[in-house]
Structure 1
Amino acid sequence: MSSINKQKIADSVPQKGFFGHPKGLFTLFFTEFWERFSYYGMRAILVFYMYYEVSKGGLGLDETTAMAIVSIYGSLVYMSGIIGGWLADRIFGTSKAVFYGGILIMLGHIVLALPGSLEMFFVSMVLIVIGTGLLKPNVSSVVGEMYSENDNRRDAGFTIFYMGINMGGFLAPLVVGALRTNYNFHVGFAAAAVGMLLGLIVFVTTKKKNLGLAGTIPANPLSSDEKKKVFTMIGSSIIVVGIIVAIAISRDALTIESFINLVGVLGILIPTAFFIFMYRSPKTNSVERSRLIAYIPLFIAAVMFWAIQEQGSTILANYADKRTDLTFGGMEIAPEWFQSLNPLFIIILAPVFAWLWVKMGDRQPTVPQKFSLGLLFAGLSFLVILLPGYFTGNDSLVNPLWLVLSYFLVVLGELCLSPVGLSATTKLAPAAFSAQTMSLWFLASAAAQALNAQLVRFYSAENELAYFGGIGAASLVLGILLLALSPKIQGFMKGIR
């Protein structure tokens, strides 16, 4: 997409209408708000749905398998974003990707809302994974298209958009958790489906008036001949994969356990292949190769951080359900509500961190130092949660404020690492691979959750001290090591601070 086309697209969008920003920001803010309400609402009750007994409305899986499946699901969501981004760039544009993705997500939640079997549960997961892969990366791209390249409102626009994400993430566990508690799981999943429907209604009814050409033009469209080849390849691949899966299932070779292991391997192999391909490409010059080397320890640190942060919907959700006193101040607490803490703290603290970095100016920590701070806070969040078990044993319920403190600490780490990582990725990316490098950043979350699918096997109430202590200590050690290596990494970054 040429710069002329980019400017033409920005000019087609009404530039005033939503807090001084392009009118389309209203459309995308509420589309993403409801999509995140849908996603986080479903995820808040997903692990409970899997391991609760059938008599309580669940599927009756064992807890370890349930937590591993949630981790694998999260990993696949981030992997599918690569495919969704490619389809939008090469075939039908980001706007259609958002619409198609929303439809699939809503259908997935509708399947969950209907009482069914384990097989139907996996059908819903496939729909949601593909749908989220189409919608999630592309709705952010449309936000960027509304602003001209030199528009100084761009960062503020993304900040407003980011607040929409976290507002949806904050509200969803509260609403869906209450519905699950007062009614059943399927009413909660139905609320998630309604949330996605509302997002689609906002998008479809306002996009023509508010978005102009934004999202309608593929960035690098395939030619007619290329489309034929690609569609033939995709069709052939689907048939081959279908045959392999059918044979594997018939021979009992494809089980939940083997699939978890397969995704775990892919979580490591795919980002490794990305690094090697970009590093060895003739389109990457010597300075860019140096910056890619600097990116490797940052990527590893991000995997370690997200491995801890993402356990908020698995291990800590289980801890809230099984180990926490769910009465506080005379009020009954739904275990899902703890998952609202992360977006709540981000909404409160993100402006504080943004102000702090600006206030410190050149005195602020370097990128590797901020990453090390992220790891130190993440490690502390796990060490904190082992303390009540250490002092009182694993037979008594713990005060819910311990969980609140754990979520608070990991959010401090997230604000040191996540926005900084996005910014650093754009700066360290080779010019020829800017989009692929951003995909690589999101693959850190995919790798982390693939790792979590293996780690959750070692968790139980009996060995929670070793589990939280081991992972927390590993994060602290890696954070200290990264801090020590920061000057060396900074040198490889070739002037990027």
Structure 2
Amino acid sequence: MQKQDRAPEPDRRADAPATGAGRGRHPRGLATLVLAELWERFSLYGMVAILVHFLAASRGHGGMGLHEGTAEAVEGVYMAMISLLALPGGWIADRFLGARRAVLWGGVVIMAGHVLMAVPDPAFVWPGLVLIVIGTGLLKPNISALVGRLYAADDDQRRDAGYSIFYMGINLGAVIAPLVVGYLGEEVNWHLGFGAAAVGMALGLLQYVLGGRRLTAQLRAEPVVRLTPAERRRVRRTGTYGVVFTAVLIALLAAGHALSIDNITFVLTLVAVVVPAGVLLSMYRSPKITPVERIRLRAYVWLFLAATLFWLVYDQMGNELNLFAAQKTDLSLLGWHVPASWTQSLPSLFVIALAPVFAAFWVRRGRHMGTPLKFGLALLLTGASFVVMSGAAAIASTGVKVSLMWLVGVYVIQVMGEMCLSPVGLSVTTKLAPRAFTNQMMGVWFLAAATGDAIGAQLPRLDAVIGQSLNFLWQGAAVIAAGAVMVFFAGRLKVLTGEAATARETVGAAA
């Protein structure tokens, strides 16, 4: 499961539509949004389940014939760009389209991308991926915001339950997608699988349009902060640059040379590192924030780095672990070969199973654990998962295919780590956001995933240099070491984030 699937922070806007007294049934529009997101996740994760296999498959087997390291880098950078574009996607909705229309147009663009991917011609693959990235960046942050705006009052007791339903819909789509799209893509035809993803997005759009009447009048005609003439000129200029850049990018990718594709992934990885660093630095140096806010922003940087390391390892399930399942795992079951892409359903399945357990645990014990300690535990767990993978890779290096239980164990450990980090990520981001940058900080959380995904996309290339087992081992050990540091300094960071009893005095003294 990817970072766009984390339980979102409820939208607390004052203009949220009235929907009742906070008791009883949920707003009818919730079903519309849940189903739209379920089908959007079906289309995304179905496609992701087979993307790296398609890119690495030979031309004779209907694939793109890319080197494995290149295919893995493309998949990882692709996911990074989806997270990166969530930031401008939210801005476009706030200032130009409005969240409801942004979701609609985002879905249309996503479906168009999947349709292009379904065309059995390599020339359509790269434009298809670009469209899916753009559409998802527009849809994902805004459909989450619409869920929050269904509830009028900040203390509406249905709000958290509504987001839990939304969250389960997301994971249900992520469980089903690899089973359907993965089977069609691997066992029948790659492009038929991509076509199934397009059908999924079309179903989501259809019910979103038909269910539009269930959304309140305020959501159907929501007010937006219109652009000023000067801002419109800047947007047109930036949009022109973006179109030119995208056209050049697609042209280079369409050239079909591995070297060109590799260079592009390197450039996009650099973008995914530089942009978040620039955003955080500009906030830190802004005269709009107070000394106390600046101190808390420094604390948030450490949490941001921890989240980056977490996603760096966790999201390699879509490329490195996906190929490991296909090539080095015994997938036979009662005489039938299980498609490797089906293993991509396991993380979301474990999320559904473990989320209630961890939710109950946090209610009972969570108040004794601060966010930094939870982040530290997340790093320890996800690092340990790659230490386990190094053992599986060592066995596989002898030519023996390993049991599927190795991957099952790794995904259980990783999801346990996710339960420590993901539910509190958006919450602490909102809590530590400087008042002048409250809205922007929601997008900053997604930037941690973008940076982690982009860097993690390049690391599988080291398999050819130091061996896959050692590559897993050093990454796992490094993340465990970072987790240990986070746990060691958890008390200090807890004070700086304002979660400790002495936070006010300490922050005031430091200021």
Instruction: Provide TM-score, normalisation by structure 2.
Output: 0.90
Q: 1:138 to 1:215 in 2, by over 3 A?
A: farther
C-alpha distance in 1 between matches for 2:251 and 2:201: 35
CA shift for structure 1 position 323: 0.3
Tell me which residue corresponds to 2:299.
294
Is 1:436 the counterpart of 2:440? The answer is: yes
Shift in CA distance, 215/369, structure 1 to aligned 2, threshold 3 Å: farther
Q: 1:243 to 1:327 in 2, by over 3 A?
A: closer
Report Cα offsets for 1:240-286 as digits up to 9, x if no partner.
64797699899x99921221111111111111111111112122111
* Closer/same/farther in 2, CA of residues 393 and 239 from structure 1, 3 Å limit: closer
* Distance in structure 1 (CA, Å) of the matches to 2:321 and 2:251: 37
Aligned partner of 2:482 in structure 1 is 478
Deviation at 1:452, TM superposition (A): 1.6
Conserved in 1, the CA contact under 8 Å of 2:22 and 2:155?
Answer: no
How far apart are 1:235 and its partner, in Å?
4.5
Residue 16 of structure 1 deviates from its aligned partner by 9.5
CA distance in 2, matches of 1:335, 1:296: 37
In the alignment, structure 1 residue 61 sits paired with structure 2 residue 66: yes
How far the C-alpha of 1:110 sits from its partner, in A, is 0.7
- Residue 151 (1) aligns with residue 156 (2): yes
Q: 1:401 to 1:441 in 2, by over 3 A?
A: same
Q: How does 1:249-264 map to 2 (within 5 A)?
A: 255-264=260-269
Equivalence for 2:308: 303
Q: Deviation at 1:236?
A: 4.0
Indicate if the aligned counterparts of 2:41 and 2:170 stay in contact, CA closer than 8 A: yes
Letter in 2 for 1:237: Y
Q: Following TM superposition, by how much is the alpha carbon of 1:395 offset from its aligned partner in structure 2, in angstroms?
A: 0.8
CA contact (8 A) 2:313 2:382 kept: yes
Which structure 2 residues correspond to residues 13-412 of structure 1 after superposition, within 5 A? Answer: 20-117=25-122, 119-148=123-152, 149-214=154-219, 216-223=221-228, 225-226=229-230, 228-238=232-242, 241=245, 255-363=260-368, 365-391=369-395, 393-412=397-416
Match for 1:399: what amino acid? S
* Structure 2 unaligned regions, length at least 5: 1-11, 502-511
In structure 1, what is the Cα distance between the partners aligned to 2:175 and 2:116?
A: 24
Deviation at 1:295, TM superposition (A): 0.8
Runs of 4+ in 1 over 4 A off after TM superposition: 5-9, 13-17, 242-250
Give the conservation status (yes or no) of the 8 Å contact 1:92–1:217: no
The 3-state SS of whatever aligns with 1:82 is helix
Mean CA deviation greater in 256-265 or 61-70: 256-265
**1:462 Cα shift?**
7.7
SS at match of 2:227: coil
Q: Distance in 1 between matches of 2:110 and 2:17?
A: 29
SS in 1 for 2:218: coil
What letter is aligned with 1:312?
Answer: M
- Distance in 2 separating the partners of 1:188 and 1:358: 41
For 1:310 and 1:292, locate their aligned partners in 2 and report how far apart those are by CA, in whole Å. 26
Distance 1:200 1:14 in 2: 27
Contact 1:14/1:210 (<8 A) preserved: no
Q: Measure how far apart 1:213 and its partner are.
A: 1.8
Query: How many angstroms apart in 2 are the aligned matches of 1:162 and 1:422?
Result: 14
Between the two proteins, what is the percent identity of the paired residues? 41
Any conservation in 2 of the 1:394–1:462 contact (CA below 8 Å)?
Answer: no
Contact 2:66 2:258 in 1 (8 A): no
How many residue pairs get aligned? The number is: 487
- 1:62-115 Cα deviation digits (max 9, x unpaired): 111100000111111111111111110001101111010101111111111110
* Cα gap change, 1:323 to 1:461, in 2 (>3 Å): farther
Of residues 446, 453, 459, the one that matches 2:457 is 453
1:469 aligns with 2:469: no
The 1:245–1:33 alpha-carbon spacing in structure 2 relative to 1, beyond 3 Å, is closer
Give 1:351 shift. Answer: 1.1
1:221 Cα deviation from its structure 2 partner: 2.5
Deviates more, 1:259-268 or 1:298-307: 259-268
Indicate conservation of the 8 Å contact 1:15/1:22, yes or no.
no
Alignment partner for residue 424 of structure 1, among 410, 419, 428?
A: 428
1:49/1:246 CA distance change after superposition, 3 Å: closer
Cα RMSD after superposing both structures:
2.5
Distance of 1:103 and 1:76 partners within structure 2: 18
Q: Write out per-residue CA displacement over residues 283-335 of structure 1, whole angstroms, 9 at most, x where no aligned residue.
A: 21111111111111111111111011100000000100000011134442110
Contact kept? 1:53, 1:60, Cα under 8 Å:
yes
Gaps of 5+ in 1: none
Corresponding residue to 1:493 among 497, 500, 504: 497
Distance 1:465 1:253 in 2: 25
Closer, same or farther: CA 486–184 of 1 in aligned 2, 3 Å? same
Distance 2:201 2:194 in 1: 11
For the Cα contact (< 8 Å) 2:50–2:186, is it kept in 1?
A: no
